[in-house]
Structure 1
Amino acid sequence: MKYLYSTPISMPRGTHYGSDYWIIYSKKLQRQVHLYSMLEHANFIVLEMDSHVEYFCEQPLKITDYNASKQQSVFDFWVYFTNGTYEFQEIKYSSELEEKTESALRSQKQIAFQNNWCKEQNHAYRVVTEKDLYKSEYYINNLEILYSFVLRQTTSIIPEKEKALYEFLLTGSQTISAIEKQAIFNEESVMANLALLYYKGSIAIDILHRPLDKKTEIGLCVSENIIY
């Protein structure tokens, strides 16, 4: 089976250390996703809007140390990428990796356990912190706005309109305002179409350096590594 994990482990809210609880629809997974902290929610938005992520599962697997400790742990995410690689992810605040509080030491023990298990099973493992997710003060909020437009888009983009946009962008990066003036899309559907093209990995949008607005720059993805 291509996707090793597709059904989340049931996690009663009272058993999780997360301070928030989210139920949000994933277009990528075609189902609702349950998230237990602001960081998990931010990570979900990043995974959902990353065209290099083909699939993911939250709370995918519980592992147990059958030696003396009998320690158990549930991974936060399992992520499958379009290049065929995959990894387990644990989402933590960076302070939990460094401090000596009881909570931080518990997190460090959990991470060591997960990391050792992944090494033994030959699985990739990554700890994702707020420093990875909040790349700028605008990044996550802009992704959330784009995703809200993606969810509203119920029809496919007309190929001729997509081609017209690409031809316009061949002249260089353009602002959303400039794209609107080209009248390629109906005025009310410009953002939804741009958001969907970003979701597909067809265009790049500068979501790092300013709030999403008419001055936001749009460009073609000339390489798979492009990022604003």
Structure 2
Amino acid sequence: MKKDMPFKAGKVFSIMFEITPNNYLIAANGDRFYEFGHRIPVDQVRWLSVSGDIIVQHLAILGCGTGVKGSLVMSPMQAELIPMMGPPALLPTVPFKANINGGMIPKRSVVVKGIPVGKSFSINLKNGSSSDIALHINPRLSKNALIRNSFVNGTWGQEETQVTKNPVKQGDYFELSIRSGQKSFKIFMNGSPLCDYGYRVFLIWHKWTPWKWKEM
């Protein structure tokens, strides 16, 4: 199926390759773009190369399991580049907290990439001036559930659990993106839309908002 070219000259882009036993699943700018079948056994793929007319802001290789080996090599010029929105937090200590400068204004996204190593973890978008939590995402791997909720005025609200399929599995790499819309958070998992979560806290216009990722 023909798709529009996702890359434009002078525009920021992201591209992710997810490796499966049968192919490469390619996501461009958060959307599933293409599937490319293996032509070389994956255990013989040992190098990553980026060349041409491009400014590289961030490169990462993530994986799990005893069979994962290798490293990412960047030139000194690439390694010294300053990201437009500030450097990502690479391999941070958990629990992790950070400020979202300017708050979760419409069209702003938070991206979390990781590998679950226990039975549960949580990601929270929290009000900067109170204990209110606008969005609590809690994958419970032992129960195959993905919980969404809010904590307002000292009380948890009604849990939302409905998803077509829980994509979070223990030991499997995931990429979670939370995008703020006009009326709800848009949640994407591994490049595909997962669910929406309507605002319960008037949060997005606050000057700053911390978020927290915590293992449970």
TM-score normalised over the length of structure 2: 0.30
Higher fraction of strand: 2
TM-score normalised over the length of structure 1: 0.29
Higher fraction of helix: 1
